[in-house]
Structure 1
Amino acid sequence: MVTYAAVLDVPRHIVEFRARLLAAEAPDLHEVLDLCRAQGRTHVVPDGTLIACDRLAGVRENGNDLWFSQKHKSFGGNIQFLAAPDGTPLWVSDVEPGSTPDITAARTHVLPALYKAAADGLPTLTDKGYIGATSAFTSPYAAPEATPRPPWTEEPAPRMRCSDT
Protein backbone atom coordinates (compact mmCIF):
# COMPACT_ATOMS: atom_id res chain seq x y z
CA MET A 1 0.00 0.00 0.00
CA VAL A 2 1.31 3.44 -0.96
CA THR A 3 0.73 6.17 1.57
CA TYR A 4 0.07 9.81 0.83
CA ALA A 5 3.33 10.76 2.58
CA ALA A 6 5.29 8.42 0.31
CA VAL A 7 3.73 10.00 -2.77
CA LEU A 8 4.73 13.47 -1.57
CA ASP A 9 8.26 12.25 -0.87
CA VAL A 10 8.91 11.20 -4.49
CA PRO A 11 9.25 14.73 -5.95
CA ARG A 12 11.70 15.68 -3.18
CA HIS A 13 13.92 12.70 -4.04
CA ILE A 14 13.80 13.61 -7.74
CA VAL A 15 14.87 17.20 -6.98
CA GLU A 16 17.69 16.01 -4.72
CA PHE A 17 18.87 13.55 -7.38
CA ARG A 18 18.87 16.24 -10.09
CA ALA A 19 20.75 18.62 -7.78
CA ARG A 20 23.44 15.99 -7.17
CA LEU A 21 23.76 15.40 -10.93
CA LEU A 22 24.16 19.11 -11.62
CA ALA A 23 26.69 19.52 -8.80
CA ALA A 24 28.76 16.63 -10.18
CA GLU A 25 28.97 18.39 -13.57
CA ALA A 26 29.82 21.84 -12.19
CA PRO A 27 33.45 22.93 -12.56
CA ASP A 28 35.49 23.49 -9.43
CA LEU A 29 36.87 26.91 -8.50
CA HIS A 30 40.32 26.35 -10.00
CA GLU A 31 38.80 25.34 -13.35
CA VAL A 32 36.60 28.45 -13.33
CA LEU A 33 39.59 30.73 -12.62
CA ASP A 34 41.65 29.06 -15.37
CA LEU A 35 38.74 29.57 -17.79
CA CYS A 36 38.47 33.24 -16.78
CA ARG A 37 42.16 33.78 -17.52
CA ALA A 38 41.83 31.95 -20.87
CA GLN A 39 38.82 34.11 -21.82
CA GLY A 40 40.74 37.27 -20.94
CA ARG A 41 38.36 38.48 -18.24
CA THR A 42 39.49 41.72 -16.65
CA HIS A 43 38.69 40.64 -13.07
CA VAL A 44 36.46 38.49 -10.89
CA VAL A 45 34.24 39.51 -8.00
CA PRO A 46 33.76 37.29 -4.92
CA ASP A 47 30.91 37.90 -2.53
CA GLY A 48 28.83 36.11 0.04
CA THR A 49 25.18 36.07 0.96
CA LEU A 50 22.79 34.46 3.38
CA ILE A 51 20.21 32.18 1.79
CA ALA A 52 17.16 32.20 4.07
CA CYS A 53 15.69 28.89 5.19
CA ASP A 54 13.59 27.34 7.90
CA ARG A 55 15.20 26.74 11.25
CA LEU A 56 17.62 23.81 11.23
CA ALA A 57 18.93 21.81 14.15
CA GLY A 58 22.35 22.64 15.49
CA VAL A 59 23.87 24.48 18.40
CA ARG A 60 27.23 26.24 18.61
CA GLU A 61 29.57 25.76 21.57
CA ASN A 62 28.28 28.98 23.17
CA GLY A 63 24.67 27.73 23.04
CA ASN A 64 23.51 29.91 20.12
CA ASP A 65 21.72 28.36 17.16
CA LEU A 66 24.21 27.31 14.47
CA TRP A 67 22.06 28.39 11.51
CA PHE A 68 20.95 31.77 12.94
CA SER A 69 22.73 34.81 11.51
CA GLN A 70 23.07 37.62 14.04
CA LYS A 71 23.90 40.02 11.20
CA HIS A 72 20.67 39.33 9.29
CA LYS A 73 18.56 38.32 12.31
CA SER A 74 17.24 35.28 10.47
CA PHE A 75 17.96 31.61 9.83
CA GLY A 76 19.86 30.60 6.75
CA GLY A 77 22.99 29.29 5.10
CA ASN A 78 26.04 31.35 4.14
CA ILE A 79 27.29 30.79 0.60
CA GLN A 80 30.20 32.37 -1.22
CA PHE A 81 30.09 32.94 -4.95
CA LEU A 82 32.32 34.23 -7.70
CA ALA A 83 30.92 36.51 -10.40
CA ALA A 84 32.14 37.83 -13.72
CA PRO A 85 32.54 41.61 -14.17
CA ASP A 86 29.01 41.78 -15.64
CA GLY A 87 27.56 39.97 -12.60
CA THR A 88 27.14 36.54 -14.19
CA PRO A 89 27.61 33.86 -11.50
CA LEU A 90 30.59 31.64 -12.26
CA TRP A 91 30.93 29.47 -9.15
CA VAL A 92 29.06 28.84 -5.88
CA SER A 93 30.53 27.32 -2.73
CA ASP A 94 29.10 24.70 -0.43
CA VAL A 95 26.81 26.11 2.24
CA GLU A 96 28.08 27.11 5.67
CA PRO A 97 25.84 27.68 8.70
CA GLY A 98 24.32 31.16 8.89
CA SER A 99 26.32 31.96 12.03
CA THR A 100 29.54 31.78 9.99
CA PRO A 101 30.83 35.29 9.15
CA ASP A 102 31.33 36.08 5.45
CA ILE A 103 35.09 36.49 5.78
CA THR A 104 35.43 33.12 7.54
CA ALA A 105 33.43 31.34 4.84
CA ALA A 106 35.49 33.13 2.18
CA ARG A 107 38.75 32.07 3.83
CA THR A 108 37.50 28.49 3.82
CA HIS A 109 36.15 28.27 0.27
CA VAL A 110 37.38 30.96 -2.09
CA LEU A 111 40.33 33.06 -0.89
CA PRO A 112 43.14 30.47 -1.25
CA ALA A 113 42.33 29.95 -4.95
CA LEU A 114 41.99 33.71 -5.51
CA TYR A 115 45.46 34.35 -4.04
CA LYS A 116 46.97 32.17 -6.76
CA ALA A 117 44.75 33.69 -9.45
CA ALA A 118 45.82 37.21 -8.42
CA ALA A 119 49.47 36.14 -8.57
CA ASP A 120 48.83 34.72 -12.07
CA GLY A 121 47.38 38.03 -13.29
CA LEU A 122 43.63 37.77 -12.70
CA PRO A 123 42.67 40.68 -10.41
CA THR A 124 40.01 40.34 -7.75
CA LEU A 125 37.69 43.21 -6.84
CA THR A 126 35.99 42.90 -3.47
CA ASP A 127 33.54 44.81 -1.32
CA LYS A 128 34.20 46.32 2.12
CA GLY A 129 33.69 42.97 3.83
CA TYR A 130 37.04 41.77 2.52
CA ILE A 131 39.13 44.74 3.69
CA GLY A 132 42.19 43.40 5.43
CA ALA A 133 41.86 39.89 3.96
CA THR A 134 44.97 40.43 1.84
CA SER A 135 46.75 43.06 -0.18
CA ALA A 136 46.32 40.87 -3.30
CA PHE A 137 42.74 42.13 -3.74
CA THR A 138 41.44 45.54 -4.65
CA SER A 139 38.99 46.65 -1.97
CA PRO A 140 37.37 50.00 -1.33
CA TYR A 141 39.24 51.89 1.33
CA ALA A 142 37.72 53.22 4.48
CA ALA A 143 36.96 56.91 4.52
CA PRO A 144 39.57 58.92 6.40
CA GLU A 145 38.75 60.01 9.91
CA ALA A 146 36.79 63.21 10.05
CA THR A 147 39.01 66.21 10.61
CA PRO A 148 38.83 67.46 14.17
CA ARG A 149 36.60 70.42 14.75
CA PRO A 150 38.25 73.70 15.68
CA PRO A 151 38.33 74.29 19.45
CA TRP A 152 36.16 77.40 19.26
CA THR A 153 33.23 75.28 18.00
CA GLU A 154 33.33 73.19 21.17
CA GLU A 155 32.78 76.12 23.53
CA PRO A 156 29.21 76.70 24.66
CA ALA A 157 27.52 79.77 23.29
CA PRO A 158 27.50 82.70 25.74
CA ARG A 159 24.23 83.18 27.59
CA MET A 160 22.32 86.26 26.76
CA ARG A 161 19.68 87.85 28.97
CA CYS A 162 17.02 90.31 28.18
CA SER A 163 16.66 93.28 30.45
CA ASP A 164 13.61 93.44 32.66
CA THR A 165 12.73 96.94 31.50
Structure 2
Amino acid sequence: MGAGARYRLVFVDRLLATLIHLRHGVTHDVLACWFGVDRSTVTRAIGEVRPLLAHRGCTVAPGIRLRTLAEVIEHLGATGRTAIIDATEIRVRRPAKGTPERDRYVSGKSRQNAAKILVLTDTDGHLLFSGAVRPGSCPDITQARDAGLVDLLSRRAGLVILADAGYQGLAAQTGGQVITPAHRKFKKNAPPWWEEMFTQRRKDHSSRRIRVEHGIAHLKNWRTLARHHGRRELLDDTVQAIAGLASLRPAAQPLSTASR
Protein backbone atom coordinates (compact mmCIF):
# COMPACT_ATOMS: atom_id res chain seq x y z
CA MET A 1 0.00 0.00 0.00
CA GLY A 2 1.34 3.38 -1.01
CA ALA A 3 3.84 2.03 -3.54
CA GLY A 4 3.67 2.37 -7.30
CA ALA A 5 1.87 4.89 -9.46
CA ARG A 6 -1.14 6.69 -8.01
CA TYR A 7 -4.57 5.49 -9.04
CA ARG A 8 -6.39 7.59 -11.60
CA LEU A 9 -9.62 5.73 -10.86
CA VAL A 10 -11.19 5.63 -7.43
CA PHE A 11 -12.19 2.19 -6.13
CA VAL A 12 -15.85 2.60 -7.12
CA ASP A 13 -14.86 3.33 -10.71
CA ARG A 14 -12.46 0.36 -10.74
CA LEU A 15 -15.22 -1.90 -9.44
CA LEU A 16 -17.68 -0.51 -12.00
CA ALA A 17 -15.23 -1.07 -14.86
CA THR A 18 -14.70 -4.68 -13.74
CA LEU A 19 -18.43 -5.37 -13.50
CA ILE A 20 -19.06 -3.92 -16.96
CA HIS A 21 -16.24 -6.02 -18.39
CA LEU A 22 -17.55 -9.23 -16.80
CA ARG A 23 -21.22 -8.63 -17.56
CA HIS A 24 -21.03 -7.32 -21.11
CA GLY A 25 -17.58 -8.36 -22.29
CA VAL A 26 -16.58 -4.76 -23.07
CA THR A 27 -12.92 -4.55 -24.09
CA HIS A 28 -10.33 -2.66 -22.06
CA ASP A 29 -9.89 -0.13 -24.89
CA VAL A 30 -13.56 0.85 -24.84
CA LEU A 31 -13.62 1.09 -21.06
CA ALA A 32 -10.55 3.32 -21.19
CA CYS A 33 -12.39 5.69 -23.54
CA TRP A 34 -15.45 5.75 -21.30
CA PHE A 35 -13.50 6.53 -18.14
CA GLY A 36 -11.02 8.84 -19.85
CA VAL A 37 -7.91 6.91 -18.85
CA ASP A 38 -5.24 4.80 -20.50
CA ARG A 39 -5.89 1.18 -21.42
CA SER A 40 -3.22 -0.02 -18.99
CA THR A 41 -5.09 1.72 -16.15
CA VAL A 42 -8.22 -0.30 -16.89
CA THR A 43 -6.21 -3.52 -17.23
CA ARG A 44 -4.59 -2.87 -13.86
CA ALA A 45 -7.95 -2.10 -12.24
CA ILE A 46 -9.63 -5.26 -13.53
CA GLY A 47 -6.60 -7.36 -12.59
CA GLU A 48 -6.86 -6.13 -8.99
CA VAL A 49 -10.64 -6.23 -8.51
CA ARG A 50 -11.37 -9.57 -10.20
CA PRO A 51 -9.50 -11.68 -7.56
CA LEU A 52 -11.35 -9.78 -4.82
CA LEU A 53 -14.69 -10.72 -6.37
CA ALA A 54 -13.53 -14.31 -6.84
CA HIS A 55 -12.59 -14.58 -3.16
CA ARG A 56 -16.06 -13.52 -2.00
CA GLY A 57 -17.59 -16.92 -2.83
CA CYS A 58 -21.22 -17.82 -3.46
CA THR A 59 -23.76 -16.29 -1.09
CA VAL A 60 -26.26 -18.89 0.17
CA ALA A 61 -27.69 -16.91 3.11
CA PRO A 62 -27.09 -13.53 4.75
CA GLY A 63 -23.56 -13.68 6.14
CA ILE A 64 -22.86 -17.18 4.74
CA ARG A 65 -20.60 -17.57 1.71
CA LEU A 66 -19.13 -20.73 0.24
CA ARG A 67 -15.71 -20.40 -1.37
CA THR A 68 -14.47 -23.96 -1.83
CA LEU A 69 -15.93 -27.36 -2.63
CA ALA A 70 -15.10 -28.51 0.90
CA GLU A 71 -17.20 -25.68 2.35
CA VAL A 72 -20.07 -26.65 0.04
CA ILE A 73 -20.03 -30.27 1.23
CA GLU A 74 -19.87 -29.11 4.86
CA HIS A 75 -22.83 -26.79 4.28
CA LEU A 76 -24.88 -29.52 2.63
CA GLY A 77 -24.13 -31.89 5.50
CA ALA A 78 -25.17 -29.31 8.08
CA THR A 79 -28.41 -28.35 6.32
CA GLY A 80 -29.33 -31.76 4.88
CA ARG A 81 -30.05 -30.30 1.44
CA THR A 82 -29.67 -32.06 -1.90
CA ALA A 83 -27.18 -30.74 -4.45
CA ILE A 84 -26.97 -31.09 -8.23
CA ILE A 85 -23.66 -31.38 -10.06
CA ASP A 86 -22.85 -30.83 -13.73
CA ALA A 87 -20.06 -29.58 -15.98
CA THR A 88 -20.24 -27.04 -18.76
CA GLU A 89 -17.81 -25.94 -21.45
CA ILE A 90 -16.64 -22.41 -22.24
CA ARG A 91 -14.99 -21.65 -25.55
CA VAL A 92 -11.44 -20.33 -25.20
CA ARG A 93 -8.67 -19.29 -27.54
CA ARG A 94 -6.56 -22.09 -28.94
CA PRO A 95 -3.12 -22.39 -27.34
CA ALA A 96 -0.27 -21.24 -29.55
CA LYS A 97 1.53 -23.72 -31.75
CA GLY A 98 4.22 -25.54 -29.83
CA THR A 99 2.46 -25.10 -26.48
CA PRO A 100 2.63 -28.30 -24.41
CA GLU A 101 -0.66 -30.25 -24.27
CA ARG A 102 -2.16 -27.96 -26.90
CA ASP A 103 -4.65 -30.59 -28.07
CA ARG A 104 -6.06 -31.11 -24.56
CA TYR A 105 -8.28 -28.06 -25.00
CA VAL A 106 -10.07 -29.64 -27.96
CA SER A 107 -13.42 -30.85 -26.67
CA GLY A 108 -14.59 -34.20 -27.98
CA LYS A 109 -18.18 -33.12 -27.40
CA SER A 110 -18.32 -29.72 -29.11
CA ARG A 111 -15.27 -30.19 -31.41
CA GLN A 112 -14.06 -26.76 -30.32
CA ASN A 113 -11.31 -25.36 -28.13
CA ALA A 114 -12.91 -25.16 -24.71
CA ALA A 115 -12.34 -25.25 -20.97
CA LYS A 116 -14.63 -27.18 -18.63
CA ILE A 117 -15.94 -25.87 -15.32
CA LEU A 118 -17.64 -27.73 -12.49
CA VAL A 119 -20.97 -26.34 -11.23
CA LEU A 120 -22.96 -27.26 -8.12
CA THR A 121 -26.39 -25.89 -7.30
CA ASP A 122 -29.13 -26.75 -4.83
CA THR A 123 -32.53 -28.06 -5.90
CA ASP A 124 -33.73 -24.47 -6.41
CA GLY A 125 -30.98 -23.70 -8.91
CA HIS A 126 -29.08 -21.48 -6.47
CA LEU A 127 -25.35 -21.53 -7.21
CA LEU A 128 -23.19 -23.15 -4.53
CA PHE A 129 -19.89 -23.60 -6.34
CA SER A 130 -18.34 -22.98 -9.74
CA GLY A 131 -14.73 -23.60 -10.65
CA ALA A 132 -12.23 -26.48 -10.89
CA VAL A 133 -11.38 -25.42 -14.45
CA ARG A 134 -9.97 -28.19 -16.64
CA PRO A 135 -9.17 -28.51 -20.39
CA GLY A 136 -12.15 -29.38 -22.59
CA SER A 137 -10.97 -32.94 -23.24
CA CYS A 138 -11.20 -33.84 -19.54
CA PRO A 139 -14.15 -36.21 -18.81
CA ASP A 140 -16.75 -34.98 -16.34
CA ILE A 141 -16.10 -37.78 -13.86
CA THR A 142 -12.33 -37.16 -13.94
CA GLN A 143 -12.86 -33.48 -13.24
CA ALA A 144 -15.01 -34.31 -10.20
CA ARG A 145 -12.40 -36.75 -8.88
CA ASP A 146 -9.56 -34.28 -9.38
CA ALA A 147 -11.58 -31.66 -7.49
CA GLY A 148 -11.63 -34.03 -4.49
CA LEU A 149 -15.36 -34.77 -4.50
CA VAL A 150 -14.95 -38.48 -3.70
CA ASP A 151 -12.69 -37.80 -0.72
CA LEU A 152 -14.98 -35.09 0.61
CA LEU A 153 -18.06 -37.31 0.41
CA SER A 154 -16.24 -40.14 2.19
CA ARG A 155 -15.92 -37.88 5.23
CA ARG A 156 -19.55 -36.77 5.21
CA ALA A 157 -22.10 -39.58 4.95
CA GLY A 158 -25.77 -39.12 4.17
CA LEU A 159 -25.51 -36.53 1.42
CA VAL A 160 -27.39 -36.79 -1.87
CA ILE A 161 -25.98 -35.30 -5.09
CA LEU A 162 -27.84 -35.67 -8.37
CA ALA A 163 -25.75 -36.08 -11.52
CA ASP A 164 -26.14 -36.99 -15.19
CA ALA A 165 -24.81 -40.04 -17.01
CA GLY A 166 -21.34 -38.48 -17.28
CA TYR A 167 -20.80 -39.28 -13.60
CA GLN A 168 -21.82 -42.94 -13.66
CA GLY A 169 -19.32 -44.79 -11.53
CA LEU A 170 -19.19 -42.25 -8.71
CA ALA A 171 -22.13 -43.94 -6.97
CA ALA A 172 -20.01 -47.01 -6.20
CA GLN A 173 -17.09 -44.85 -5.00
CA THR A 174 -19.24 -42.65 -2.76
CA GLY A 175 -21.51 -45.26 -1.20
CA GLY A 176 -24.50 -44.25 -3.32
CA GLN A 177 -24.35 -40.56 -2.42
CA VAL A 178 -24.06 -39.57 -6.08
CA ILE A 179 -27.24 -40.57 -7.92
CA THR A 180 -27.08 -40.98 -11.71
CA PRO A 181 -29.71 -42.04 -14.28
CA ALA A 182 -30.75 -45.67 -14.39
CA HIS A 183 -28.69 -48.06 -16.51
CA ARG A 184 -30.25 -49.82 -19.48
CA LYS A 185 -30.60 -53.45 -18.44
CA PHE A 186 -31.68 -54.84 -21.81
CA LYS A 187 -29.71 -53.82 -24.89
CA LYS A 188 -32.31 -55.34 -27.20
CA ASN A 189 -35.64 -57.16 -27.07
CA ALA A 190 -36.62 -55.37 -23.86
CA PRO A 191 -40.14 -56.10 -22.53
CA PRO A 192 -42.53 -53.19 -23.23
CA TRP A 193 -43.32 -52.72 -19.52
CA TRP A 194 -39.61 -52.46 -18.66
CA GLU A 195 -38.90 -49.98 -21.45
CA GLU A 196 -41.76 -47.78 -20.24
CA MET A 197 -40.51 -47.93 -16.64
CA PHE A 198 -36.92 -47.20 -17.74
CA THR A 199 -38.01 -44.15 -19.74
CA GLN A 200 -40.11 -42.81 -16.87
CA ARG A 201 -37.28 -43.22 -14.35
CA ARG A 202 -34.84 -41.32 -16.55
CA LYS A 203 -37.42 -38.61 -17.15
CA ASP A 204 -38.04 -38.22 -13.42
CA HIS A 205 -34.30 -37.97 -12.76
CA SER A 206 -33.87 -35.38 -15.51
CA SER A 207 -36.74 -33.33 -14.08
CA ARG A 208 -35.09 -33.28 -10.65
CA ARG A 209 -31.70 -32.10 -11.94
CA ILE A 210 -32.93 -29.52 -14.47
CA ARG A 211 -32.23 -26.74 -11.97
CA VAL A 212 -28.48 -27.04 -12.46
CA GLU A 213 -29.02 -26.15 -16.13
CA HIS A 214 -30.75 -22.97 -14.98
CA GLY A 215 -27.77 -22.16 -12.77
CA ILE A 216 -25.39 -22.66 -15.70
CA ALA A 217 -27.59 -20.42 -17.83
CA HIS A 218 -27.30 -17.63 -15.25
CA LEU A 219 -23.51 -17.95 -15.45
CA LYS A 220 -23.41 -17.80 -19.23
CA ASN A 221 -25.69 -14.78 -19.31
CA TRP A 222 -22.52 -12.94 -18.38
CA ARG A 223 -20.88 -12.15 -21.68
CA THR A 224 -17.37 -13.01 -20.53
CA LEU A 225 -18.38 -16.66 -20.06
CA ALA A 226 -20.32 -16.93 -23.31
CA ARG A 227 -16.89 -17.07 -24.94
CA HIS A 228 -13.70 -16.32 -23.04
CA HIS A 229 -11.31 -14.17 -25.06
CA GLY A 230 -8.83 -13.52 -22.25
CA ARG A 231 -5.94 -15.53 -20.88
CA ARG A 232 -6.85 -19.09 -19.93
CA GLU A 233 -5.02 -18.90 -16.60
CA LEU A 234 -7.39 -16.10 -15.54
CA LEU A 235 -10.54 -18.10 -16.33
CA ASP A 236 -10.74 -19.69 -12.85
CA ASP A 237 -10.87 -16.28 -11.13
CA THR A 238 -13.35 -15.04 -13.71
CA VAL A 239 -15.67 -18.00 -13.19
CA GLN A 240 -15.58 -17.71 -9.41
CA ALA A 241 -16.14 -13.95 -9.52
CA ILE A 242 -19.18 -14.30 -11.78
CA ALA A 243 -20.53 -17.21 -9.72
CA GLY A 244 -20.37 -15.07 -6.60
CA LEU A 245 -22.23 -12.25 -8.32
CA ALA A 246 -24.79 -14.57 -9.93
CA SER A 247 -25.47 -16.28 -6.59
CA LEU A 248 -27.04 -13.03 -5.39
CA ARG A 249 -29.86 -13.64 -7.84
CA PRO A 250 -33.00 -14.95 -6.07
CA ALA A 251 -33.67 -18.65 -6.64
CA ALA A 252 -36.46 -19.53 -9.05
CA GLN A 253 -39.84 -19.97 -7.42
CA PRO A 254 -42.14 -22.85 -8.39
CA LEU A 255 -45.16 -21.92 -10.45
CA SER A 256 -48.43 -21.70 -8.60
CA THR A 257 -50.88 -24.47 -9.46
CA ALA A 258 -53.78 -23.08 -7.51
CA SER A 259 -56.93 -22.90 -9.60
CA ARG A 260 -59.44 -20.12 -9.43
Report if TM-score (shorter chain) is over 0.5. Answer: yes
Match of 1:133 in 2: 170
**Considering only aligned residues, what root-mean-square deviation do their CA atoms show, in Å?**
2.5
The amino acid of 2:158's aligned partner reads: G
Q: Distance in 1 between matches of 2:153 and 2:115?
A: 25
Instruction: Report what 2:213 is aligned to.
Output: none
In structure 1, what is the equivalent of residue 188 of structure 2?
146
Q: Shift of the alpha carbon at 1:110?
A: 4.7
1:30-86 Cα distance to aligned partner (Å, 9 max, x none)? 212222233331x111111111122233442xxx62322122111111111111111
Distance in 2, matches of 1:102 and 1:15, equals 31
Is 1:51 matched up with 2:82? no
- Distance verdict in 2 for CA 1:9–1:77, change over 3 Å: farther
Larger radius of gyration: 1
Normalising by structure 2, we get a TM-score of 0.48
Is the contact made by 2:171 and 2:180 (CA closer than 8 Å) also made in structure 1? no
The runs of 4+ residues in structure 1 deviating greater than 4 Å are none
Count of aligned pairs between the two proteins: 140
TM-score of the superposition, structure 1-length normalised?
A: 0.72
Residue identity over aligned pairs, in percent, reads: 31
Unpaired runs of 5+ in structure 2? 1-28, 58-66, 191-260
- The answer (yes or no) to whether the contact 2:73–2:153 under 8 Å persists in 1 is no
DSSP 3-state at the match of 1:74:
coil
**Which residue identity does 1:138 align to in structure 2?**
I
Of residues 66, 77, 80, the one that matches 1:40 is 80
What per-residue deviation string (whole Å, max 9, x for no partner) do you get for residues 98-139 of structure 1? 12222211110152255236x521111111111122322211
Which has the larger helix fraction?
2
| Aligned-partner Cα distance in 2 for 1:110–1:86 | 24
Give the Cα separation in 2 of the matches to 1:21 and 1:113. Answer: 28
